[in-house]
C-alpha cells in the first residue's frame, strides 16, 4: 500500500511539473490556410478592408512546434503595390519559418526575405486569427482570419 501511494505521489508530481512548465499538446498546423476576412494598412497611408487582397499560408513541414512553409499575398490590381513596386507586382510570396508556442494556441512565423512578423492565435483546428507587421520605409500592418482548407 505504501509503495502504491508513493508511486501515485510521483506520478502526480510529474503531472504538476509538466503543467508548471506550461507544456501543452502541440497542434499540427500542416496544410493550406487562406484568409477569409481582414484589414490592411500600407506604407502609402492606405487603410482598408482586405477586399480583393488575400493571404495564403502553406505549411509544408512541421517537427514538434517548429514549421516551415510559404506565405503568399495576392494584392488587388488597383491597390498599393508591394514594397513600392509598380507595374505587375501584385503577388508577394516568401518562405517562412514558424513556431507554435508551448501553450498550443499562439503561433509566430517570420518571412525569410524581409522583416515581416506574423502572430496568430489558434481558435480551433481549422481557424487562426492573425496579425502581421513589417516596419521600415515600406511598412505594412494587417489582421486576418485564416481557415484551413
Q: Say if residue 141's pLDDT is above 50.
A: yes
Q: What is the band of 88 on the pLDDT scale with cuts at 50, 70, 90?
A: very low
Where on the phi/psi map is residue 17: left (φ > 0), alpha (ψ -120 to 50), or beta?
alpha
Percent of the chain with pLDDT over 70: 70
Q: Say if residue 7's pLDDT is above 90.
A: no
Give mean pLDDT, residues 72-87.
63
Helices (H), the chain: 2-20
CA distance 144 to 31: 17
Average pLDDT, the chain: 81
Give mean pLDDT, residues 22-28.
80
Could you give phi then psi for residue 63, rounded to 5 degrees?
Answer: -130, 110
Sequence length of the chain is: 149
Structural domains in the chain? 26-148 (2.40.128.20)
Name the range with the highest mean pLDDT among 3-12, 89-98, 100-109: 100-109
pLDDT (0 to 100) of residue 81:
54
pLDDT (0 to 100) of residue 40:
82
Amino acid at each position: 500500500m505504501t509503495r502504491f501511494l508513493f508511486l501515485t505521489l510521483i506520478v502526480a508530481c510529474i503531472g504538476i511539473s509538466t503543467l508548471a512548465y506550461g507544456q501543452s499538446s502541440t497542434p499540427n498546423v500542416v496544410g493550406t490556410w487562406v484568409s477569409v476576412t481582414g484589414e490592411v494598412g500600407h506604407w502609402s497611408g492606405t487603410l482598408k478592408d482586405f477586399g480583393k487582397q488575400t493571404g495564403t499560408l502553406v505549411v509544408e513541414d512541421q517537427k514538434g512546434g517548429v514549421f516551415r512553409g510559404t506565405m503568399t499575398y495576392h494584392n488587388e490590381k488597383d491597390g498599393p503595390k508591394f514594397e513600392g513596386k509598380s507595374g505587375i507586382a501584385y503577388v508577394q510570396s516568401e518562405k517562412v519559418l514558424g513556431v507554435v508556442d508551448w501553450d498550443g494556441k499562439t503561433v509566430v512565423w517570420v518571412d525569410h526575405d524581409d522583416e515581416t512578423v506574423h502572430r496568430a492565435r489558434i481558435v480551433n483546428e481549422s481557424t487562426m486569427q492573425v496579425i502581421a507587421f513589417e516596419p521600415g520605409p515600406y511598412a505594412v500592418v494587417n489582421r486576418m482570419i485564416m481557415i484551413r482548407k
